[in-house]
Chain A
Amino acid sequence: MTASFCNWCGKPNTEAAHDLCQRRLALVDPPRYCAECARRMVVQVTPAGWVARCSRHGEISSAR
């Protein structure tokens, strides 16, 4: 799998610095955009984790 897009802002990884994105992902946010196609994902947060689903590229979760 190629991570072409930022999970947090959905922009290409090559387009800009993503320091804030990385900080937010590390502290308070689950991924919201698919890293392969930048589609918004359906995200379910639970007390102990999260699951994010892209309609094209399937599911990722905090457990993996």
Chain B
Amino acid sequence: MTTAPDQVDDVTTDVLAVAAKQVRDEGVGLTEEQILQVLRLGDDRLTDLLALAHEVRERWCGPEVEVEGIVSVKTGGCPEDCHFCSQSGLFPTPVRAAWLDIPGLVEAARQTAATGATEFCIVAAVRGPDQRLLNQVREGVKAIRAAGIDINIACSLGMLTQEQVDDLVDMGVHRYNHNLETARSHFADVVTTHSWQERWDTLKMVGAAGMEVCCGGIIGLGESLEQRAEFAAQLAELDPDEVPMNFLIPNPGTPYENYPIVEGAEALRTIAAFRLAMPRTILRFAGGRELTLGDLGAEQGMLGGINAIIVGNYLTNLGRPAQADLDMLAELKMPVKALSQTL
């Protein structure tokens, strides 16, 4: 059988046809230019795009969904000026400083483990950890282990020195989160108190020390589609184990309080594009999906490239009840990844 010339043209130029061969069949992520083509697809192609992203996820990651819970050990009062963040001490937000004690940390880990989650991430709103914070994390990790809570412990404590990276490895922290947040070309519009490069340097140290790297960002920070594609390509270059995808929650008092909420179809297209850029990564639903996607959109995301989820509440914002997400996964017949599969 011969192929008609116009069909050949479709297969070689249509980005979804290219992605089917390149990403789904061969496991090679899209380039920045190709990601941008995907981000520019019309709503009439969204169903096909999500279906392809789901096939890619199933082929290269499998059917399991990794479930995680997070908690803020040190809330608010941050010296940095990330313009989206209600925890910056530089903006007149309603968030007041709070410090979670060890029993509270253990209880949060227990709540997380009770959902069947394999990951528990301890997060602090800081530029980088001081000795007091590191001591708190060390004692917290010990207490969680002593309580017999069977869960992987991750941390997100800002920028690190090599000595601090080594400390965290010694504590048994298995994954470290540090989001690049947005494209390198857009970062200085979002944060002025430190650079994208400083974040990148921390991530490279974390990876070199043998901890799993978790690095994602926030969609809806005023970035262009080109910068969104740039960001996905930069993440792909970093090759993190996990990419958490947040959607901006415009928080009162922050410079971005009046930014629009990302529209649902745009959010889904972005999720799928990131999956096609990084076929093997753990792509996690994180904050903001409740406002951006709602219940139905969350299901579409799970069927459009996502293979991990933060359940329950976030750091300063609330999420859906964990059981609602677990019920959704059961309805979608997506098994929750067991701890034994993560080791």
Give the interface of A toward B (CB within 8 A).
9-10, 27-30, 32-33, 40-50
Contact A45 B290 (CB under 8 A): no
A43 near B95 (CB under 8 angstroms)?
A: yes
Q: Which residues of B contact A10 (CB under 8 A)?
A: 94
Instruction: State the main secondary structure of chain B at its contact with A.
Output: loop
Cβ contact of A45, chosen from B252, B291, B314, B322, cutoff 8 A: B314
**B104 pairs with A47, CB closer than 8 A:** no
Q: Are B111 and A46 in contact (CB under 8 A)?
A: yes
With contact pairs A27-B318, A29-B317, A30-B318 given, residues A47 and B252 touching in the complex (Cβ less than 8 Å): no
Give the CA-CA distance A43 to B96 in the complex, in Å.
7
Query: Could you tell me the distance between the alpha carbons of A50 and B261 in the complex, rounded to whole angstroms?
Result: 24
User: Closest chain A residue to B287 by CB distance?
Assistant: A28
CB of A48 within 8 A of CB of B322, answer yes
CB distance from B312 to the nearest CB of A (A): 4
- B residues sitting closer than 8 Å to A (CB atoms) are 69-72, 75, 94-98, 100, 104, 107-108, 111-112, 115, 249, 252, 288, 290-291, 311-319, 322
Can you name 19 A-B residue pairings with CB atoms under 8 Å?
Answer: A28-B290, A28-B318, A29-B318, A30-B318, A40-B94, A40-B96, A42-B96, A43-B316, A44-B100, A45-B75, A45-B313, A45-B314, A45-B315, A45-B316, A47-B111, A47-B112, A47-B311, A47-B322, A48-B312
CA distance A43 to B107 in the complex (A): 16
